Amino acid sequence: MKNNRNKAGIVLGILLMSLTITCNTAFSPILSEIGKSFPDASDSSVQIVLTIISLSTFPMMLIEPFFERFLTKRDVAILGTFLMLIGGILPHFFHSQLWMLYLVSVVIGCGLSLVVVTSSSLIADYFTGLEKSKIMGYQAIFASLGGAIVAKGSGILTTHFGWQNGYLILLITVPILLVMFTCIPKGEIPKTESNSGGFYMSGKLIYFGFLCLLAGIFISTFNTNIAMYLDRNGIGNEQTAGTVSAIMQIAGILSGLIFGFMVKTFKRFTLGIAVLLSAVGTMIVGLSTNLIIVCIGALFMGIGFAMRNAGGVSFAANMVNAVQASSAIAVVSASFNLGSFISAYVINPLAGLFGSDIRLRFIISGIALLLIGLLTCIRSPITDKQAIDA
């Protein structure tokens, strides 16, 4: 009975920690207002405010296992959450230059990377098999719920108090920190054994990372362009963008509820299906300027996005032993975030070859995601056995 209560507390702590792991996408409502404050800056320069969060996670995720040599996973997660809190406060005081926002994004990204890796790794430590997939699904629900809070909250704060105060939505990390201290066991720093063999990058894991990199490039089109898309087509303002982004995040709740079922039913095809759903959502947005249709596109995107996130970290952990789980999760997560960063540098000029309409960015990304999804289904990076952790 006591063990069940302890596990329930651990689950609660990890899930509340997960409320912040999609904040790099949820800040998209702020971008259009930042662009208006810096009229001489290009679209790509403004989009970097969001995508540099993903760039900074790339090296930090790869070195996160090094932190675990000196700190427990819980303490690494607390450090990451605290960095996100600092990143949410800084723009209130430093926002006169675009480079200041880049630095803020680096702080948020460094914190985010530590939380993403440790939250998923802690689930792998305490749970196995389909139970682990079930908890990963719950994590996707809380990640989507947190993303919706950040997206809608940042949009409201931006509308009423200016975009520099939109970041203050990250004050939600204060109660999260208190729960993490209370519910998650401190744990122990694992001893490094000389015969452990270190971390081996298998060919399948490299291929997995490559697929995540490609997916990151084209999935990120939605988040980095949606606010500008709505504004330029006269559909709404930053608060409308917050609503659309929130719908995308809330859709992830449905994805989290069915994730365990999806893994049990589709096994190695789960990731490919997730990318195909993202392709449908992106194409829907690109083919319509009707707000209701855009919201439907956001719904598909949210389901696919959350399913891909949960599947990415869960399947990466299943490909290696427990000691190497953090490193494997770091590889696939960092690859996706690197793709997110370079997204604007790939999509914007590629779409520019066909015209200046911002909708082209969504259409091209939708076609690319369709191809990536099919490739992931045909040449899955994992086996059925690894998918269900059998």
Place of tokens 């939380």: 115
pLDDT at 26 (0 to 100) = 64
Could you please report the per-residue DSSP string of 94-119? --SSHHHHHHHHHHHHHHHHHHHHHH
pLDDT at 29 (0 to 100) = 73
Q: What is the pLDDT of residues 317-330, one digit of tens each?
A: 889 887 788 888 88
Q: What is the pLDDT of residues 234-270, one digit of tens each?
A: 887 767 877 887 788 788 888 888 888 999 999 999 9
Among candidate residues 154, 377, 175, the one with its CA nearest the CA of residue 276: 377
Q: Which residues of 311-340 are buried (b: 16+ CB within 10 A; e: fewer)?
A: bbbbbbbbbbeeebbbbbbbbbbbbbbbbb
At 378, the pLDDT band (50, 70, 90 cuts) reads very high
pLDDT at 372 (0 to 100) = 97
Contact 108, 168 (CB under 8 A): no
pLDDT at 17 (0 to 100) = 92
- The answer, yes or no, to whether residue 2 has pLDDT greater than 50, is no
How much is the mean pLDDT over the chain?
87
pLDDT at 194 (0 to 100) = 44
At 1, the pLDDT band (50, 70, 90 cuts) reads very low
Among candidate residues 139, 127, 99, 132, the one with its CA nearest the CA of residue 15: 139
Could you please report the per-residue DSSP string of 289-320? --HHHHHHHHHHHHHHHHHHHHHHHHHHHHTS
Mean pLDDT of 329-348: 88
pLDDT at 199 (0 to 100) = 63
Q: What is the pLDDT of residues 169-191, one digit of tens each?
A: 999 999 999 999 998 888 877 66
Phi, psi of 96 (to 5 degrees): -80, -20
Give the Cα separation of 208 and 158 in Å (integer): 38
Residue 136 vs residue 112, higher pLDDT? 112
pLDDT at 33 (0 to 100) = 84
Could you please report the per-residue DSSP string of 323-341? GGHHHHHHHHHHHHHHHHH
pLDDT at 192 (0 to 100) = 56
pLDDT at 75 (0 to 100) = 94
Segment of 49-53, 67-71, 178-182, 197-201 carrying the highest mean pLDDT: 178-182
Structural tokens at position 350:
């590629």
